[in-house]
Amino acid sequence: MKNWIVGNWKMNGSQDAVTDYVPALLNGLAEFTGWEKSARVVLCPPYPYLGMLARALIGYPIAVGAQNVSAQPQGALTGEVSPHMLADLGVTVCIIGHSERRRQFAESDDFIGEKLRALLEIGLTPILCVGETLAERDAAGHMDVVRRQVLRATEDVSAEALARAIIAYEPVWAIGTGVNATPEQANEMHAFIRNLLDERFGAETAGRVPILYGGSVNPANAGALMSQPEINGTLVGGASLKSETFLPIIEHSLT
């Protein structure tokens, strides 16, 4: 399985930033001969920049992802964007269930499950985010929370479809705090998620789903995180905003 390095720009960026970023990233990647054989790089800018980024990356092995999507195909849903619209722009990946959306926009596991199914139905790759808060970990409830988030969102999904999805473990306490989960903590949760998938969908599917870690990933900790057997990549926020910090994270993910 290739390692996935996904940059989530959140609500940051501009047309100028995209224009500067693309050549800097491509020039940097050109230094890592054969990088595309072991890594899949995805950039997830805000909606308005998806089209221009996808156009700039035509012909390069770098995918473009969205940070959210509607589960509905069309209709009276002011402000929403459908899976088909993303595909129409050349987007192939989409983050769903990010903890910032769960918390600030009250997204439920069932609602996130609808998005998961809508993306899989039209062949886009969902990145389903899960992860506990600090209070939940302190109360030793982190495994239960993640179990619920994974199983509820994937309830009506077939094994064949789930094999085309990605899961990202992002402990809420590690996001934007500078305090990453230790490689061992992350690996333990990834193994737990893999086991859940095995029980629910079978070993073959469980073995095909990349499980990414996210939460304060940076050039200094990426190598140790990536050395863990159950970590198949990273979902990077702040450090993906500049190619100078994203490139060394990619380099640490090459095998």
| Binding span for ligand 13P by CB under 6 A among 21-29, 113-121, 193-201, 234-242 | 234-242
Smaller CB separation from ligand 13P, 192 or 246: 246
Which residue has tokens 């596991």?
Answer: 109
Nearest to 164 by CA among 195, 215, 128: 128
To ligand 13P, the closest distance from the beta carbon of 203 in angstroms equals: 28
To ligand 13P, the closest distance from the beta carbon of 45 in angstroms equals: 13
To ligand 13P, the closest distance from the beta carbon of 129 in angstroms equals: 7
CA distances from 219 to 47, 153, 193, 245, 249 (A): 27, 32, 25, 6, 5
| Binding span for ligand 13P by CB under 6 A among 14-22, 104-112, 156-164, 212-220 | 212-220
Q: Can you tell me which of 3, 4, 5, 8 binds ligand 13P, judged by CB under 6 A?
A: 8
- Judged by DSSP in three states, 213 sits in strand
| Tokens, residue 70 | 């509607």
Please state the separation of Cα 216 from the chain's center in Å. Answer: 14
> Which residue is catalytic, options 170, 190, 251, 252?
170
Which residue has the closest beta carbon to ligand 13P?
A: 237
Smaller CB separation from ligand 13P, 190 or 201: 190
Nearest to 53 by CA among 27, 79, 85, 14: 14
Q: Can you tell me which of 215, 232, 245, 252 binds ligand 13P, judged by CB under 6 A?
A: 215
Does residue 68 touch ligand 13P according to CB under 6 A?
no
CB 63 within 8 A of CB 92: yes
170 is catalytic: yes
CA distances from 194 to 62, 90, 143, 213, 236 (A): 26, 30, 12, 13, 21
Q: For ligand 13P, what does the binding mask look like between residues 84 and 123, x meaning CB under 6 A? A: --------------x-------------------------
Angle, helices 183-201 vs 142-153, to 10°: value is 40
160 is catalytic: no
Query: Contact positions toward ligand 13P, by CB under 6 A?
Result: 8, 98, 170, 175-176, 214-217, 235-239
Q: What are the catalytic residues?
A: 98, 170
